[in-house]
Amino acid sequence: MENFDGKVALVAGAAQGIGKVIVQKFAEAGAAVVFCDLLDDEGEKVAEDLRAQGGRALYQRADVSSPQAVESLMQHAVQNYGRLDILVNNAKADAWDRLTELALEDWNRVLAVCLTGSFLCAKYAIPHMIASGSGGAIINISSVHALVAYSGSPAYDTAKAGLLGLTRQIAADYGPEGIRANTIIPGRIVHEDLKKRIARLSSTPPTPLPFSAYYPVGRLGTSEDVASAVLYLASDSAQFITGTELVVDGGLTTRTQEWRLDNHSRRRWQRWWESQNKAKDEG
């Protein structure tokens, strides 16, 4: 495990799911962690549990789309722990509908949290990172939605794609001041909340889980998969890596749509194709 003794990490959107595991992994690796969310009970519980285990963790409620809330969050981190070294932008919102049916307020809300929130967190974190004298690392959590379109997801797809450009801009502008910025692109992640939703539907869910067949590795991702990638990119082991994307999707985006045909359909197509080629050769 990477060692983050003496480092201070801030994680946005971390009361549950992927963000919660990122906070836990940083604390286990020795970092002091400040994190925010809008789920106060869950966030306070995470912080209390980590402190009970000897970790250093503080929760603060913050709406990342609010400049005042984000600035206060960064100040809270520095006032309590003296510096800021790592920022992980994981806050998210989504809205499902086709573009022509999507309400403008839903479009604005998703972009405000996913994209503008990441901009604001970086805007107010970077001066503290520079002031520390040793630079810092920013990791933006995007999604495979940034690479391929998903049905009924124009706002989320757009916001997650926007993070790729934001990350490159930060890396290019602030590299000379010791700031690295990278994006992680996860595939479908089975986090604790998804497991709970599945359990409410059935005590005997299908195995493997739906969509697993789309992944060459034969399974969906876990929060730990993403957290491990975050800690790597935040560590000194990645000090020459900036402005790029790390795809953590079990190979999902390596396959074309044709590849995703079920085996029966693919074999049937292959037999037809071979028969046509054979007929052509014989003719």
With bands split at pLDDT 50, 70 and 90, how would you rate the model's confidence at 41? very high
Residues 227, 276, single domain; the answer is: no
Residues 264, 241, single domain; the answer is: no
Over pLDDT 70: what percentage of the chain? 87
The domain containing residue 160 runs over which residues? 8-250
Identify whether 16 is part of a domain. Answer: yes
61 strand-pairing partners: 37
Q: Is 89 helix (H, G, I), strand (E, B) or coil?
A: strand
With bands split at pLDDT 50, 70 and 90, how would you rate the model's confidence at 262? low
Identify whether 2 is part of a domain. Answer: no
Residue type, 87: L
Q: Work out the average pLDDT over 263-279.
A: 65
Q: Which residue has the higher pLDDT, 25 or 277?
A: 25
Both tokens of residue 280?
A: 């052509």
Q: Work out the average pLDDT over 136-156.
A: 95
Residues 245, 110, single domain; the answer is: yes
The model's pTM:
0.89
Q: Do 43 and 36 contact (CB within 8 A), yes or no? A: yes
Residues 134, 165, single domain; the answer is: yes
Q: What is the CATH number of the domain that holds 122?
A: 3.40.50.720
Nearest to 13 by CA among 72, 65, 83: 65
Q: Do 155 and 110 contact (CB within 8 A), yes or no? A: yes
- pLDDT greater than 90 at residue 206: no
What kind and span of H or E run contains 110?
A: helix 104-111
Q: Work out the average pLDDT over 38-48.
A: 98
* CA distance readout (Å), 50 to 32, 45, 252, 260, 272: 10, 9, 34, 42, 59
What are the residue numbers of the active site?
A: 156, 160
Q: Beta-carbon neighbour count of residue 205 at 10 Å? A: 12
33 strand-pairing partners: 9, 57
Identify whether 1 is part of a domain. Answer: no
Query: How many domains are contained in the chain?
Result: 2
Residues 213, 262, single domain; the answer is: no
Residues 96, 116, single domain; the answer is: yes
Q: Do 37 and 61 contact (CB within 8 A), yes or no? A: yes
Q: Work out the average pLDDT over 209-237.
A: 92
Residues 175, 122, single domain; the answer is: yes
Residue type, 102: L
Identify whether 108 is part of a domain. Answer: yes
* CA distance readout (Å), 25 to 9, 60, 120: 11, 19, 24
Both tokens of residue 276?
A: 């046509």
* Max CA distance (Å), the chain: 82
Residues 149, 280, single domain; the answer is: no
Query: What SS3 string covers 5-50?
Result: CCCEEEEECCCCHHHHHHHHHHHHCCCEEEEEECCHHHHHHHHHHH
Would strands 56-61 and 179-186 be described as parallel, antiparallel, or unpaired? unpaired
At residue 87, the pLDDT reads: 98
Both tokens of residue 50?
A: 């980590």
Q: Do 74 and 35 contact (CB within 8 A), yes or no? A: no
The HSE-up count of residue 59 (CA atoms within 13 Å, CB side) is 24
Q: How far apart are CA 108 and CA 117, in angstroms?
A: 12
- pLDDT greater than 70 at residue 159: yes
Of the listed ranges 39-43, 77-81, 139-143, 150-154, the least confidently predicted one is 150-154
